[in-house]
Amino acid sequence: MNMTDYTLYLCTDRDLMSTPTLEEAVEAAIRGGVTIVQLREKNCSSREFYDTAVSIKAICDRHQVPLIINDRLDIALAVDAAGVHVGQSDLPADKARAILGPDRIIGVSTATPEEALKAKADGADYIGVGAMFATGTKKHTRPVTMERLAQIRRSVDLPIVVIGGVNETNCTQFNGTGVDGLAVVSAIIAKPDIEAAARELRSLFRK
């Protein structure tokens, strides 16, 4: 039974954050109502990724918020994170499940009903669906229409978080669509007041 709260899903990006440190950004975001954190580090050594994961996990643990590691199963296991998130070009979810065991959370990026069904068959706990809108934080995204999102929602009963350009001006479009959460990057982490930005997004989505 998946009891994880995906309402406000923060993906980190140290290039965009408004605070001096990632730790400050994550702490403020959680205070504002972020319910789950994905640590995404693309441009650092394994040691730096590990050290960052240790310090971010300490913050998440203090607030009882799950920490998900992007792509790196070794880092997830090394810091005893709640789980991992994999994309279509990462290690397949069924292999991740075999390595991580039954108790960790596995999320999979999907853009089609077929990918969603495959993720479910492979043992995913939730799927990320997008890119919903144009986004500057990720290259090579595949656009997903609201109609396609509805098809994906009908195809699987897994929790869905929508990602890709989701912000305070468009997040209310997902109210009533049956999605479980908003995955956001710059709409929280790039704002001058991270805590307030998180609080606003959460209240808009839950209206």
- The pLDDT tens digits for 99-126 are 999 999 999 999 999 999 999 999 999 9
Residue 191 one-letter amino acid: K
- Output the pLDDT for position 134: 85
Q: Which residues are catalytic?
A: 40, 109, 138
Nearest to 162 by CA among 113, 203, 110, 204: 110
**What's the rounded Cα separation, in Å, for the pair 132 and 144?**
5
Which residue shows structure tokens 């050290």? 51
- Output the pLDDT for position 141: 79
pLDDT over 70 at 159, yes or no: yes
At 60, phi and psi to the nearest 5?
A: -60, -45
Confidence of residue 1 (pLDDT cuts 50, 70, 90): very low
Q: What digits encode the pLDDT tens for the residues 35-52?
A: 999 999 988 999 999 999
Average pLDDT, the chain: 96
% pLDDT > 90, the chain? 92
Q: Could you tell me the CA-to-CA distances from 80 to 148, 149, 194 in Å, in that order? A: 35, 32, 26
Average pLDDT (169-190) is 97
Average pLDDT (132-150) is 87
DSSP string, the chain: ------SEEEEP-TTT-SSSSHHHHHHHHHHTT--EEEE--SSS-HHHHHHHHHHHHHHHHHHT--EEEES-HHHHHHTT-SEEEE-TTSS-HHHHHHHH-TTSEEEEEESSHHHHHHHHHTT-SEEEE---S--SS-SS-----HHHHHHHHHH--S-EEE-SS--TTTGGGGTTTT--EEEESHHHHTSSSHHHHHHHHHHHHT-
The answer to whether the beta carbons of residues 44 and 30 sit under 8 Å apart is: no
At 161, phi and psi to the nearest 5?
A: -115, 135
Confidence of residue 140 (pLDDT cuts 50, 70, 90): confident
Nearest to 190 by CA among 13, 6, 7, 9: 13
Q: How far apart are the first and last CA of the chain?
A: 26
pLDDT over 60 at 19, yes or no: yes
pLDDT over 70 at 133, yes or no: yes
pTM value is 0.96
At 7, phi and psi to the nearest 5?
A: -45, -50
pLDDT over 80 at 2, yes or no: no
Residue 52 one-letter amino acid: T
Higher pLDDT, 77 or 1: 77
- Domains detected in the chain: 8-205 (3.20.20.70)
